[in-house]
Amino acid sequence: MKFLICGFGSIGSRHAAVLNSIEGNSIVAYRTGNSKRAKVKIPYPVIYDLEDLGRHNFDGALITNPTSMHIDTALKIAEYGIPIFIEKPLDMELENAGILLGKTVEKKIPVLIGYNFLHHPGIKLIHRLISENKIGKVISAKAQFGTYMPDWHKYEDYKESYASIPSMGGGVVLTSIHEQNYLTSFFGDVMEIKAMKTGGDILGIKAEEGVEILMKHRSGTVSNIHLNFYQKPYYRNCQVIGTEGTIYWDFMKPEVILYYQDRTEIFKTGKGAYELLDESYLEQMKHFIEVINGKAKPAADLKRGIKDLETALEILKQIN
């Protein structure tokens, strides 16, 4: 299959490597030539104008450029009827989201939003345990993500990264939207939101560095999310509390633990944290190929991406 990748930063390069690991795939890169990494050589043919898409026969397109460019890029690609993968989040604003939805429905173009954690063995197992009523009625859940942004990419000044710049869709709320998304997949759409900014000016970036979020879901479950860009060491976990027990997952440990009043069950999920992360990206791309071939419905479609962005924008409204 032939794929177009729009944006060759760290995530675009990662998806390219995953697609290359699947036999039978080829890649063409779209580059504007304007980014700070434009001079970095890549081992793929390059096009510099999306008007050239008519000369190619792409099976799918991946949008992995800065968040602020996602919908505009998708609209141009949709004109050619190409199935689209949009790296999370959908965008930094909802303008033109309805136009994109209408166009993809009209042309019957499948869209997958890139929430790789929906394909992570740990998250998938939590979802299954909840669905099987292993801890009774779920009352509340807590998810946390903390990372130290200056350690992300040694090749760039973190203050100049798109994740640091509000006008490019940066900030911890949009960049780290995974927790919001998977909790919504567990418990249903968000009906109420409360949010408060944390951290202040620890890193010296213009975007928000930390946030505490409370969400009430359609199911009645209340979830709490803590996100930050200043934590040492990296930390990511999820706890789900039910009437009969508690589910706990730590990203750094290849297991999900089920705690009951009188016993503990441990479910092993793999060899190690980063092997499982790699698996999530691989399974996500396999899923996208199935979506393209009409063998699966998107795990997170464009409507899901729009609803998640609506929630994220309300959080940003409350903290700014």
Q: Using DSSP, state whether 249 is helix, strand or coil.
A: strand
As to burial, measured by CB atoms within 10 angstroms (0-12 exposed, 13-18 middle, 19+ buried), residue 262 is: exposed
Task: List per-block mean pLDDT (blocks of 10 residues) for the chain, which spans 320 residues.
Answer: 95 97 97 65 91 92 97 98 98 98 98 98 98 98 97 88 93 98 98 95 95 98 98 97 98 98 97 96 98 98 98 97
3-class DSSP assignment, residue 67: helix
Per-residue model confidence (pLDDT) at position 32: 81
Per-residue model confidence (pLDDT) at position 237: 98
C-alpha dist (Å) from residue 87 to 5, 69, 212, 270: 11, 11, 24, 25
Domain positions in the chain: 2-115, 117-273+300-319
pLDDT at 221: 98
Query: pLDDT tens, 164-194?
Result: 999 999 999 999 999 999 999 999 999 999 9
Residue 38: what pLDDT? 54
Write down the CATH number for the domain with range 117-273+300-319: 3.30.360.10
Q: For residues 51-83, b (16+ Cβ closer than 10 Å) or e, as one string?
A: eebeeeebebbbbbbbbbbbbebbbbbbebebb
Class of domain 2-115: alpha beta
Element at 83 (helix H, strand E): none
For residue 108, give every residue at least 6 positions away whose Cβ sits within 8 Å of its Cβ, in sequence order, or none: none
| Tens digits of residue pLDDT in 69-81 | 999 999 999 999 9
What is residue 37's predicted lDDT score, i.e. its pLDDT?
56
Which pLDDT score is estimated for 41? 80
Between helix 10-21 and helix 273-292 the angle, nearest 10°, is 70
